Each structure stands twice: as C-alpha cells, then as structure tokens.
Homo-oligomer: A and B are copies of this chain.
C-alpha cells in the first residue's frame, strides 16, 4: 500500500492517512473486501505511532469505509461504502460553502472552479479499473 505522508504539513497525520485511504477507494486501488494492513504493521511500515493509525482506522470505520474484525483484520467495507444520504449532502454543502465563498472573494470564477472540480474527478477516474 502506497502511503505518502507529509510530516511538514499542518494537517494532522491521522487525517492525511484517512484521506489517502479514501482516495485509494475512490481510485479503485482498494476494492470492497480487500484487506488493509493491521494497525501494528502499517504503523511500523510508515514509521508512525500505533495510536495515529488506530485513530485513522477508527474514523474510517465510523464513516463506513472499512470494517475491523478481530480475526479477519481490517478490510475495505465488503458491502461498499454507504451511499450519500441527506446528512452527507448537508455536510458536503457545509464543507463546500467556505471554499466557494473564498473563491468569490478572490475573483476566482465559477467556471474555473467547476473546471477544477471536473479535473479532479477525471484524475480519480484515471485509476485502476
């Protein structure tokens, strides 16, 4: 599993880890049911604290991305990630609003903003198929 952490970033390490696993699922690098390394082995592979990996896995579990079994270990949710529901859409809107408000203030046009989103979508869809 390829994980790139930026130890200079102000973004917490566990948050970077959460996001990279979500990105891996979006890119279809990780398939439903696929095994992830145990907390211990991932922590040792990338040289970070057990607690940091555990925090990331717990958040991913809570949000339905992974399952954590005593015996089978950590796997990408075999039933697939829960689909977007009303609560998710509201949260997404809440997260997008500050980005769009700042873009407007900085004269970054709506067309450019939408193009950037499309480019990111394209970028994810270029992954393993």
Contact = CB atoms under 8 A, between A and B. Distances in A.
A108 B120 contact: no
A110 B118 contact: yes
Contacts of A82: 106
Number of copies: 2
A83 interface: yes
A95 B99 contact: yes
Interface residues of A, number: 37
A93 B105 contact: no
A89 interface: yes
Contacts of A26: 100-102, 104-105
Interface in A89-121: 89, 92-93, 95-108, 110, 113-114, 116-118, 120-121
A108 B88 contact: yes
5 contacts: A26-B105, A83-B106, A84-B107, A92-B116, A100-B117
